[in-house]
């Protein structure tokens, strides 16, 4: 059964959400503070987390930031703070969607289903018109569990970083614009800007460089976008 963690300090809201999700066939666990939720998420990542931003002990943005160091499972943010900076910050840290309060429980269940569908293993979009090539030697991508390793070292990527790495590495030399990468890595309904791609590329470079610092894996093409640079064959 699909397991969903609800992190919400308003008990009435959490109770209604739990009732609707359980009625829809999901198993739910509720936490009323960020610290307890983070400990549980890291120890045993659920299939999806509904994460409020305003929480006691540890706010939702910090829970998201720390959780993304350990797990790439989908996270939907619940918030009454609709300022653009909060939306962008959350999504650049790896949130999969936002639902603003007050919300309809039925709509929330529909959003949960949509996120679970599009984040199902192996559901990263391909690139029409070009057959994928193999990844670089030493780079292994596990499409089922959203894991990647380089030279035997786990890269600990977020789901969005994994999606970008998958698209870039399987089409070496092809230049992707930010808009195209945004289209491939994000759902159409998610309101983000192209600068999110820069943030994820920066993180990818850092993680790849920590394992193999002698090679610049992702090439920036000024005014255009990014391309995967496979190392030269010996």
Is residue 204 within 8 A of residue 176, CB to CB? The reply is no
Listed as own residue / partner, the contacts of 132-136 with beta carbons closer than 8 Å and 24 or more positions apart are 132/170, 132/171, 133/170, 133/171, 133/172, 134/170, 135/169, 135/170, 136/169, 136/172, 136/217, 136/228, 136/230, 136/231
The pLDDT tens digits of the residues spanning 120-141 come to 655 544 444 444 444 567 888 8
Note the pTM of the prediction, 2 decimals: 0.59
The pLDDT assigned to 185 comes to 67
The pLDDT assigned to 188 comes to 47
| Residue 142 CA: distances (Å) to CA of 90, 131, 172 | 26, 18, 18
Give pLDDT < 70 ranges for the chain: 82-92, 119-136, 144, 185-193, 232-234
Q: How many Cα atoms are found within 13 Å in the side-chain-facing hemisphere of 95?
A: 27
The pLDDT assigned to 134 comes to 44
The pLDDT assigned to 135 comes to 53
The pLDDT assigned to 87 comes to 59
The pLDDT assigned to 114 comes to 84
Report residue 166: phi and psi, to 5°. Answer: -65, -45
- Percentage above 90 pLDDT, the chain: 36
The pLDDT assigned to 205 comes to 92
């Amino acid at each position: 059964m699909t397991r969903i963690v609800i992190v919400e300090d308003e008990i009435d809201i959490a109770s209604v959400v739990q009732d609707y999700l359980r009625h829809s066939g999901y198993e739910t666990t509720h936490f009323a503070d960020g610290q307890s939720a983070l400990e549980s998420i890291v120890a045993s990542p659920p299939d999806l987390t509904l994460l409020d931003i305003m929480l006691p002990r540890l706010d939702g943005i910090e829970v998201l930031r720390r959780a993304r160091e350990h797990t790439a499972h989908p996270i939907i943010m619940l918030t009454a703070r609709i300022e653009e900076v909060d939306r962008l910050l959350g999504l650049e840290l790896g949130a999969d969607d936002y639902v603003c309060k007050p919300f309809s429980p039925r709509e929330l269940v529909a959003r949960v289903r949509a996120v679970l569908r599009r984040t199902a293993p192996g559901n990263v979009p391909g690139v029409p018109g070009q057959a994928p090539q193999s990844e670089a030697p030493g780079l292994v991508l596990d499409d089922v569990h959203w894991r990647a390793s380089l030279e035997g070292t786990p890269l600990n990527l977020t789901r969005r970083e994994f999606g970008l790495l998958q698209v870039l590495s399987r089409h070496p030399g092809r230049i992707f614009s930010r808009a195209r990468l945004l289209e491939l890595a994000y759902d159409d309904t998610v309101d983000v800007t192209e600068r999110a791609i820069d943030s994820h590329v920066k993180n990818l470079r850092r993680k790849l460089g920590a394992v193999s610092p002698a090679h610049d894996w992702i090439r920036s093409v000024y005014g255009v976008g990014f391309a995967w640079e496979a190392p030269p064959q010996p």
